[in-house]
Amino acid sequence: MKYVAPTSVEEATQLLASEPDARVFAGATDWVPQIQAGRPPPGIMVDLKRIPRLVELRRDEGDGTNGASWTIGAATPAARLTEEDAFRADFPGLTEASGLIGSDQIQNRASLGGNLCNGSPAADTVPAMVVNHAQAVIASSSGTRTIPVAEVVTGPGSTSLEPGELVVEIEVKCPPANTADAYLRFIPRTEMDIAVVGVAARITLDDSGNCSDAQIALGAVAPTVVRVPEAEQALVGSPIDDDTLAAVAAAASAACNPIDDKRGTKEYRRQVAGVLAKRVVVLAAQRARERSGGTA
Amino acid sequence: MSRTHVSCTINGDETEFLCSDDQSLLNALRDELLLTGVKEGCGTGDCGACSILLDGRLTCSCLIFAPEAEGSTILTVEGLAEGDHLHPLQQCFLEGAALQCGVCTPGFLIAAKALLDNNPDPTETEVRYGLAGNLCRCTGYDKIVRSVLEAASQMRESA
Amino acid sequence: MTNPEETTPSKPDYKYIGTRPIRPDGLDKVTGRARFAADLSLPGMLAGHVLRSPHAHARIVSIDTSAAEAIAGVKAVVTRSDFPDLDPANPEYNVTRNLMARDKVLYEGHVVAAVAASSRHIAKLATEAIAVEYEVLPHVLTVDEAMADGAPLLHSDLLTQNVEPEATEASNVARRTVLERGDVEAGFAEADVVIEREFTTKPVHQGYIEPHAVVADTSQDDTSVVWCSSQGHFRVQSQTATMLGWESSQIKVIPAEIGGGFGGKTTIYLEPLAVLLSRKANRPVKLVMSRDEVFRATGPTSGTRIRVKLGAKKDGTLTAGKAWLAYEDGAFPGIWGMLGCWCIFTPYDIPNFHIEGFDVVVNKPVNIAYRAPSAPMAAFATETVLDEIARAVGIDPLDLRLQNAAKEGDASPLGPKHGPIGLSETLDAIRKHPHYSAPLGPNQGRGVATGYWFNIGESSSASVNLNENGTAVVATGSPDIGGSRASMAIMAAEVLGIHPDRIRPVVGDTESIGFTDTTEGSRTTFATGWAVIEACRKIVTELKSRAATMWDVDGEEVEWVDGEARHTKGDNDPLPLAKITAAAKQTGGPLTASASLNAKGAGPAFCSQVCDVEVDPETGLVTILRFTTAQDAGRAIHPSYVEGQMQGGVVQGIGWALNEEYIFDGNGIMENAGFLDYRMPVASDLPMIDTIIVEVPNPVHPYGVRGVGEVGIVPPIPAIANAIHDATGVRLRDLPMSPVRVLEALTNGNGNSDGDA
């Protein structure tokens, strides 16, 4: 393997265009163990971390038509998100997802871009990005395009990226008022495990405290992240009481298409997906309530 | 296979070494520079025995390709003490019996330093979560956690 | 030389014993200077790599190394044809066949060849270029599969030992063990409550953070110097020599600093390969295992199936006990089932019992000792059933154990009578601890359990050399896996009367120190410490004699007190040790002494524990809230390191109870050979582990020492299982008690139709 570290997106895309055996990486926290386990390494490994745009983290205030949004470089370490109070204030759920990837050692290297493009069904940040309608900005030597994060991963280990393309940054619009996200996952220890089930939720409350919008996404229970429209519909217009939560749990369990593996059984994942869906909705709603500062 | 030349600062010293591009920084530190304080417990980022500070951030050197170290500043356990003066963490580990076989100790010292750099007054829970990336099989962590809390207290007093 | 008669002074005023000096190896370990085997480099050193079987069971049809040998940079290759075939009666026969497969590979990971090359990269490429033709055979992975009629056999010549009539047909059952006393059926008939349960456990790994590593430097005259990570370098020496067909004296083994062992480094895996590669290449060779190799190819401890039946009267007296145990041995026969039989009822005085155990080979890595080997699985069974009995007869679980505890003078299941033992004291310590009566919240429960481990004595050598300046070098042959150098310094200090800081404890290599058995069986502070004490006593005798010479008085007028010679019948000023050593050349020459012994009378270790858990009823997640352990150390030489052993054992037990297991696919390939999915506890999983050291001195040892390293791992599993029951009403009898299993049990009631509450 040969190592190169381009310093601009143009340089990186030129490289990818001209070298079919080149692969990009950010933290390599998934990649190194995969190579150790026998995955054939590429001829050229392209380090994205020296490209300033790819390690940025900035909030744009926006104008009248477009609200505030955040731009996160695809190779920005997850730790920078957890350290940024302003980011946490806007996206507590996406922040906690970022803070759950492995250990502190891992979070200083792991990135949203890597977590997304590695294509693991159990990636912690993907459900949280999906409920926040995050967009992936993709560059190639022929230009850039932007697609919802939900459309990037197509199956375990595979993405919709064409050869020569790389994810450059993730854009997330700041949530509207009275809205908050949350992410919960189940692992057998307290740290260091791959998610057995991960659930993200984003809840918006109206003035009377009922749910006016809901996004629920499940991770690690299907080949890709799964939205749960039935749960979302059950929530909209409801006061998020026990009956609603029971419906949410049932819908989440039903939406799973899990496998048996060394981390959990199908049955277990289905059951716990329901449990976490309830809990994460309650958490997101609580945050949304706090955010509305008593007007609801 | 041609080798890459890397220049960086390690434990305060300007250092250079040759490596192959797919060599981990862990292997480069141990095999090229004979800095054997970092240990390979797993090679996959799951045990923390290879922990270093890379540009001030706690990382597993087994997950870093050696050429990435170009121009960086690295701290390993060999750079913790200042001359004859042990770092309070090192001293507290000794006094608190926070080590038995000692193979995880360099990684824990670096991880604990990173923790206290960012959070000088951690709770027991914060210490436990901050050290969750480091495996110890001998001590059951009890004396390690106590020693880190003690070092934190001493460091706050003398600050 | 055998150990002399000894009595222990009762709670004397020790000067150094019981203090907590900084361990002598500590500074090197916190500064990164400590040299573990993989840290060593020699000029011209080559890197080794091992080719391992991809199949759980296969015949090796052919091995072709020519392509590998042709790769530039490859300096040596070894295969089965390079090692002699031993007589099957040789005690090391199985070890040699584990280190290099012969006609068959018996587990995934079994060694097929090894290469030494100028870099690790080339060595790996070379192993990939070795062409091996296999004929894959059917395999067995559990005791159930291996014991079934018509099961594929691992060894065509393995006949079950100790069956009647004598076995004539090959089997996967290597050995049967039976221990019995009295009349079990009559005993059960007397009982008011009889409970019979069945348990299963999975193989778990010792999990030492340092993978096995060796550096070997072999000369053309067939002598080799070996540095390795090992708990017993004399065993490394003899096993390596045996495998090569050499004399032990051709190999010098230097123990490097060892990064954890827990029993897993009491055998060899790499050394003969490295020695022979080095011989062939005529250059030093370093061989280091990856974590993946450690899991796939070094001994975990046995998976088991155990049935326990206990009977008790309604006043709580146990009347009868029956146990059936089957332990996996891995690919070659072992003694693990036998040891399980030795432990299973031993903490208790049961008048009628029948214990039958089996050692069973399976197509998995060869099992090796793991901290109190075979006892934790047996305790899981007995201590859980005892908990059920306690509830059935309405007696507090601690009281039930106290009532039936083995006492001094009781005969143990193996026959010999117990000496003074601390079981009752540890149970009392738990009862009195605030933990035992602290309130519990919703979904929380409390469990107790007791553990036993024999501890062994065996042979140790020690030597003491006094330097001119009054410092001492104390050398032993025991690799330090827990802080034994600190303890040696303290015991020597106590005898010599000088501060432990003035004593330099070292671990000698096989050429510098007398034969010493492996650091295992919690023997080091006991037996090696005893040898140190003996050597120091000899030196003190000599020091007194030198003082007498210096004073020109009769030897009987000299006493040794507090590190100095005192003139009891005159008024000469005392002579501190340093003054005597300074004058040594004039009074008779260098001051040295050595001692060797085969220590008898190792006191068994007992331990009682209490654990609080919280169970999330919706996910099955078990959180350890609080844990307290009370252990009889006989005499705690260095209390911090006794506490460290206790805490380490508890946390290994917690991991074993909750999440650790070997997971195999249908082809016998391990699926979780890494620290990501082999889930050992991390710091955030745990609370502080409170320790209570109880001291019931072992009367045989000069300072009353009882081995402490192992027993702590025995009670946690049943303590946690009992706590989970207390919290949820559900009993788990299959390990690990992972969230998946706990939730399943909560959802389905776990077949608990036996009416227990």
Q: Which residues of A touch B114 (CB under 8 A)?
A: 104
Same domain (yes/no): B68, B32: yes
Is B100 within 8 Å of C640 when comparing Cβ atoms? Answer: no
Residue of chain C whose Cα is closest to the Cα of A275: C618
Q: Which CATH superfamily is domain A179-290 in?
A: CO dehydrogenase flavoprotein, C-terminal domain (3.30.390.50)
Three-state SS string over A60-111 comes to ECCCCCCCCEEEEECCCEHHHHHHCHHHHHHCHHHHHHHCCCCCHHHHCCCE
**Quick one: B75 and B110 in the same domain?**
no
Structure tokens at A67: 């609200």
Q: CA of B119: which chain A residue's CA is closest?
A: A83
The two three-digit tokens of residue A170, written as one number: 């993730």
The ipTM, to two decimals, is 0.98
Question: Which residue on chain B is closest to C678 by alpha carbon?
Answer: B46
Contact between C391 and C356 under an 8 Å Cβ cutoff? The reply is no
Residues C132-158: pLDDT tens digits? 999 999 999 999 999 999 999 999 999
Query: What is the CATH architecture assignment of C374-455+603-748?
Result: 2-Layer Sandwich (3.30)
| Coil, helix or strand at residue A237 | coil
Q: What is the interface size between A and B, counted as CB pairs within 8 Å? A: 83
Asked if residue B96 and residue B60 are part of one domain, the reply reads: no
> By CB neighbour count within 10 A (0-12 exposed, 13-18 middle, 19+ buried), where does B2 fall?
exposed
CA-wise closest residue to C466 among C588, C637, C638, C597: C588
Element (H, E) at A4: strand A2-4
Write the CA distances from C707 to C545, C560, C596, C697, integer angstroms.
34, 29, 19, 11
Whether the bond into C165 is cis, omega within 30 of 0: yes
pLDDT over threshold 70, residue C465 = yes
CATH number, residue B103: 1.10.150.120
Contact C683 B109 (CB under 8 A): no
Please check the confidence at residue C476 and state whether its pLDDT lies above 90. Answer: yes
pLDDT at C753 over 80: no
pLDDT for residue C438: 98
The average pLDDT across C416-432 equals 85
Query: CA nearest B114 in A: which residue?
Result: A104
C602-638 pLDDT tens trace: 878 889 999 999 999 999 999 999 999 999 999 999 9
With contact defined as beta carbons under 8 Å apart, do C242 and C86 qualify?
yes
Residues B101 and B153 in one domain: yes
Domain ranges of chain A: 52-173, 179-290
Per-residue pLDDT band at C255 (split at 50, 70, 90):
very high
Min Cα separation B157/chain C (Å): 23
Chain C positions in Cβ-Cβ contact with residue B78 (cut-off 8 Å)? 31-32
Q: Digits of tens for pLDDT over chain A (296 positions)? A: 899 999 999 999 999 999 999 999 999 999 988 888 888 889 999 999 999 999 999 999 988 777 899 999 999 999 999 999 999 999 999 999 999 999 999 999 999 999 999 999 999 999 999 999 999 999 999 999 999 999 999 999 999 999 999 999 999 999 998 999 999 999 999 999 999 999 999 999 999 999 999 999 999 999 999 999 999 999 999 999 999 999 999 999 999 999 999 999 999 999 999 999 999 999 999 999 998 764 43
Strand partners, C130: none
Chain B residues closer than 8 Å to C28 by CB: 102
B73 and B98 share a domain?
A: no
In this structure, what token pair is assigned to residue B11? 């434990």
- CATH T-level fold of A52-173: 3.30.465
Cβ contact (<8 Å) for C663 and A268? no
Residue numbers in A near C741 (CB within 8 A): none
Q: Decide which of B79, B114, B136 is a domain's last residue.
A: B79
Question: Could you give the percent of chain C with pLDDT greater than 70?
Answer: 97
Mean pLDDT of C505-510: 94
Q: Amino acid letter at C572? A: N
C595 to chain B, minimum CA–CA distance in Å?
A: 27
Full DSSP string of C699-711: TTSTT-----SSG
Tell me what the mean pLDDT of segment C286-294 comes to: 98
Picking from B79, B101, B134, the residue at the C-terminal end of a domain is: B79
State how far the Cα of C583 lies from the Cα of A142, in Å rounded to an integer. 89
Give the contacts of C720 (CB within 8 A, at least 6 positions apart). Answer: C447, C611, C613, C622, C624, C653, C654, C657, C658, C737
- How far apart, in Å, are the Cα atoms of C748 and each of A251, B56, C617, C657, C756? 22, 51, 12, 21, 15
C506 touches C474 (CB < 8 A): yes
Is the domain spanning C458-599 CATH 3.30.43.10? The answer is no
Interchain CB contact of B6 with A (< 8 Å) = no
Give CA–CA dist C347/C413, Å, rounded.
9
- Taking 80 as the threshold, does the pLDDT of residue C750 lie above it? no
Beta-strand pair C591-599/C458-466: antiparallel
C530-567: per-residue pLDDT in tens?
Answer: 999 999 999 999 999 999 999 999 989 999 999 999 99
Q: Which tens digit of pLDDT belongs to each residue from C116-139?
A: 999 999 999 999 999 999 999 999
The answer to whether the Cβ–Cβ distance between B59 and A109 falls below 8 Å is: yes
Q: Which chain B residue's Cα is nearest to A34?
A: B44
Tell which C residues from 166 to 205 touch B, by Cβ distance under 8 Å.
none
pLDDT-derived band of residue C570, with 50, 70 and 90 as boundaries?
Answer: confident
Query: Nearest CB to B21: which of A2, A28, A190?
Result: A2
Query: How far, in Å, are C48, C108, C347 from residue C160 at the CA level?
Result: 38, 25, 29
The amino acid that residue B159 corresponds to is A
d(CA C77, CA A223): 44
* Contact indicator for C697, C634 with CB cutoff of 8 Å: yes
Spell out which residues of chain B touch residue C644, defining contact as CB-CB under 8 Å: 97, 100, 138-140, 143
Contacts of A268 in chain C (CB under 8 A): 739-740, 743-744
Q: What confidence score (pLDDT) does residue C325 get?
A: 98
Of residues C59 and C701, which shows the higher confidence score? C59
Q: Is B60 on the interface with A (CB under 8 A)?
A: yes
Do residue C31 and residue B100 have CB atoms under 8 angstroms apart? no
Task: Tell me the average pLDDT of chain C.
Answer: 94
Strand bridging mode A179-186 / A135-140: unpaired
pLDDT of residue C1: 29
**What local confidence, expressed as pLDDT, does residue B1 receive?**
64
Region C20-35: mean pLDDT is: 96
- Mutation test of the interface with chain A: which of C294, C619, C684, choosing the one with the most A Cβ atoms within 10 A? C619
- Of B79, B108, B142, which closes a domain? B79
Q: Which pLDDT band, with edges at 50, 70 and 90, does C756 fall under?
A: very low
| pLDDT bucket at C735, cuts 50 / 70 / 90 | very high
Domain that holds residue B11: 4-79
Say what the pLDDT of residue C456 is: 79
Query: How far from the centroid of its chain's Cα atoms is residue C378's Cα?
Result: 16
Q: Is C659 on the interface with B (CB under 8 A)?
A: no
Asked if residue C267 lies in contact with residue C235, where contact means CB atoms within 8 angstroms, the answer is yes
Average pLDDT over residues C653-669: 97
Q: What residue has token string 């901050």?
A: B130
| Cβ pair A268:C739 closer than 8 A | yes
Question: Which pLDDT does position C470 carry in this prediction?
Answer: 95
Name the residue among A172, A119, A162, A112 with its Cα closest to residue A139. A162
Q: Is B141 on the interface with C (CB under 8 A)?
A: yes
Q: What are phi and psi of A236, to 5 degrees?
A: -65, 125
Per-domain residue ranges of chain C: 374-455+603-748, 458-599
Query: Is B94 in Cβ contact with C26 (below 8 Å)?
Result: yes
Looking at the 3D structure of chain B, how many domains does it have? 2
For residue C671, give the chain A residue with the closest CA: A262
Per-residue tokens: C688: 């502080």
User: Could you tell me the two tokens for A236?
Assistant: 């909209």
Strand partners, C312: C193, C318
Report strand pairing: A135-140 vs A57-60. unpaired
Closest chain C CA to residue A37: C292
